[in-house]
Amino acid sequence: MKWFNPETIKPWLLLLPSVIVIGFLVGYGVWEAIAESFREWETGKWTVQYYEELLMKEAFWDSLFLSMYIAISSTLASLLIGLFLTRVLQRYFMNYRWKSLVWLPMLFPHFVAAYLIILFLSESGILSSLFYHFGWVNEIADFPFSIQSQHSAGIIFTYIWKEVPFVILMLLPIYQQFSPEEEATVRTLGGNSWDVFKTTEWPSLFPVLIETGIILFAFTLAAFEVPSVLGITYPKMLPVLSYQWFFENDWSNRPLAMAVMIITTLIILFIAFLSFWVTQRRRMHIARGR
């Protein structure tokens, strides 16, 4: 049989170490988390009581809405700003020096980025000092903006600063592939800039935007570091809530903490599946010539 053909087995041999490591960590970890969320923590009996309890908790729903709001708005804002900047400034970003500069925020851990937001935008931050010199505020309390309240702006700003460079670096390779001839073709046929964008750039941009969007959404929904620095006490983002329950005095809330993360996982997988389906449908449309 073909199975014994070494050329057939070779890619699998090369992939095996990664597949085993990821398969074990993800598979076993998720399985254990699911099992612990469905087991009574003292007796180990199977139960759905923790999910029932969770869905009755207002704290959970408030956290869920806050997390969705932050994840969706920071993802969309990063994608839009990243796309806009890449499109307008692509010529500069392809230059080696600018590209290294765009890399710079990638070197900052997320919690350091959160601290930067405190330095810039908090009541006693740089912006507030500048406002004083412009005569817009007279004392610290006058500063009109709070990074913690006001729709979690601090968290969202942190993510935007960190993720826009990521979006730019994901999109640049696509822009490098575009040829001026394609644009010229659309222009000779009487198309304007919008037509150029829609017919030559959008089809190749769309899948990458979707992919980048899913990566960002999954990350912001499930990340602990930034909201633990800039978040408020109530409501907390889902991972912060889960972590708090996980380490509460006795272990009685651990199944609840697991259930929170399992639900977070399901939301991400659902959104990822949905977007994957949309891109596949589009791809088939393109293949059919429409």
> Segment 45-84, which members bind other proteins (CB under 8 A)?
none
Note whether 280 binds other proteins by CB under 8 A: no
Q: Contacting other proteins (CB under 8 A), which of 99, 268, 279, 282?
A: 268
Between CA 197 and CA 183 the distance in angstroms is 9
Nearer to other proteins, 167 or 290 (CB): 167
Beta strands in the chain (DSSP E): none
- Residue 31, φ and ψ in degrees, nearest 5: -60, -45
Nearer to other proteins, 39 or 206 (CB): 39
Least Cα distance to 251 among 49, 37, 42 occurs for 42
SS3 39: strand
Residue in the block written with tokens 């009755």:
56
Binding string, residues 154-183; x marks residues near other proteins by CB under 8 A: -------x---x-------x----------
Note whether 274 binds other proteins by CB under 8 A: no
Note whether 19 binds other proteins by CB under 8 A: yes
Note whether 142 binds other proteins by CB under 8 A: no
Note whether 284 binds other proteins by CB under 8 A: no
Least CB distance to other proteins at residue 218 (A): 5
The secondary structure of 74-137 as a DSSP string is HHHHHHHHHHHHHHHHHHHHTSHHHHHHHHGGGGS-HHHHHHHHHHHHSTTSHHHHHHHHHTS-
Interface positions, 185-224, toward other proteins (CB under 8 A): 214-215, 218-219, 221-222, 224
Q: Please state at what angle helix 58-93 crosses helix 254-287, rounded to 10 degrees.
A: 40
Q: Contacting other proteins (CB under 8 A), which of 106, 184, 274, 284?
A: 106
